Copies of this chain bind each other. A is one copy, B any other.
Amino acid sequence: SVAFAEARSIEEEQMLTECPASLLREGENVQWDNPSTSSMRARFETMIRKAQDDICAAVEAVDGSKFHEDSWIRPGGGGGISRVLQDGNVWEKAGVNVSVVYGTMPPEAYRAATGGSSDNKTALDKAGRIPFFAAGVSSVMHPKNPFAPTVHFNYRYFETDAPRDVAGAPKAWWFGGGTDLTPSYIFEEDATHFHQVQKQACDKHDLAFYPKFKQWCDDYFLIKHRGERRGLGGIFFDDLNDRDPEVLLAFSSECANSVIPAYIPLIEKRKDTHFSPEHKDWQQLRRGRYVEFNLVYDRGTTFGLKTGGRIESILMSLPLTARWEYDHQPEEGTEEWKLLEACRNPKSWVPAS
């Protein structure tokens, strides 16, 4: 989303000693006793916090070690809860963040996000920066074993105020997110399982979702300067506001709930596979590519770095270790070459419905 360009958050964070009940500003309609009457902001926060709890519990159960938690809040509202499991038994580094940001964005970002007509372009450009609200859960988990894949997911909700002094300009909102898989070696059955679970989640809401969001994912996770994708994709969507927000909340929840069944079985199958130092080196080179994508292209990372987000939470997505060899080219026909080919030419992992 272009909304990420030049977005800014407003205040410095303060670390907390305990996890707060809510990261929202006071009075933003959290009806703990009757959640369905709560604001979308409140319900989205509830959803992402539950996703964080559930996924961390599933990862801890497999890894046998515990996440470390850091919480912070900004005086005027907003904040985050970062959980990281570093140098575990199964994962090299696994991070699951929840964050809520109150900030301002320039008018052109608002226009891009709302697909704005040119009618009120001049008025909008004069309106000045527009307040926004963003909440999301985001996670990257890098396992130790080179045959066990990395997963990333992120589900987020945005709202802007209506620009002041622009007659008829609407308040805007949209959903975004996705889940994608980045192995160093391909197991067809693993990729198929992962995509199948994404498709099932999509199909419950709209049969058009999976093909569209699978393609969007392949397009988004392109490391342009290399002409290769970060991994084997999954689903990705942004600026989604073309239907009832209730439906999109339900869809986002479905996707977040699908992370465990899509990913954990692959880890259980591959975490103890025997590997050589050469396998590990290849994994480390692929981790280097992960770093390239995240620092050069990823909007969430750029958004975080620019909005003065908490750096350690944003860069939790980077692997513990990575490697760059000059001009490394896997030999044709090898397992390493097959992975690279699949990153260069994304394929279809599940049959169309």
Contact = CB atoms under 8 A, between A and B. Distances in A.
Interface stretch (A29-37, A99-107, A313-321, A337-345): A313-321
Contact of A323 (B311, B316, B320): B320
21 contacts: A68-B326, A84-B326, A84-B327, A86-B326, A93-B326, A224-B305, A291-B291, A292-B295, A292-B315, A295-B295, A312-B326, A312-B327, A315-B324, A318-B324, A320-B324, A321-B321, A321-B322, A321-B323, A321-B324, A322-B322, A322-B324
Given A225-B311, A226-B311, A311-B225, A86 B325 contact: yes
A244 to B, nearest CB: 38
Contacts of A316: 326
Interface string A280-297: 000010001001100110
B312 A319 contact: no
Contacts of A322: 291, 321-324
Given A226-B311, A296-B296, 10 more contacts: A68-B326, A84-B326, A84-B327, A93-B326, A95-B326, A224-B305, A291-B295, A291-B322, A296-B305, A321-B322
Nearest to A93: B326
A70 interface: yes
Copies of this subunit: 2
Interface in A229-244: none
Interface of A: 68, 70, 84, 86, 93, 95, 224-226, 284, 288, 291-292, 295-296, 305, 311-312, 314-316, 318-327
A224 B304 CA distance: 12
Contact of A319 (B292, B305, B324): B324
Contacts of A288: 318
A222 to B, nearest CB: 13
A302 B95 CA distance: 28
A284 B318 CA distance: 14
A57 to B, nearest CB: 19
A266 to B, nearest CB: 24
Contacts of A314: 225
Contacts of A284: 321
A94 to B, nearest CB: 10
Contact of A305 (B225, B324, B325, B326): B225
Nearest to A306: B225
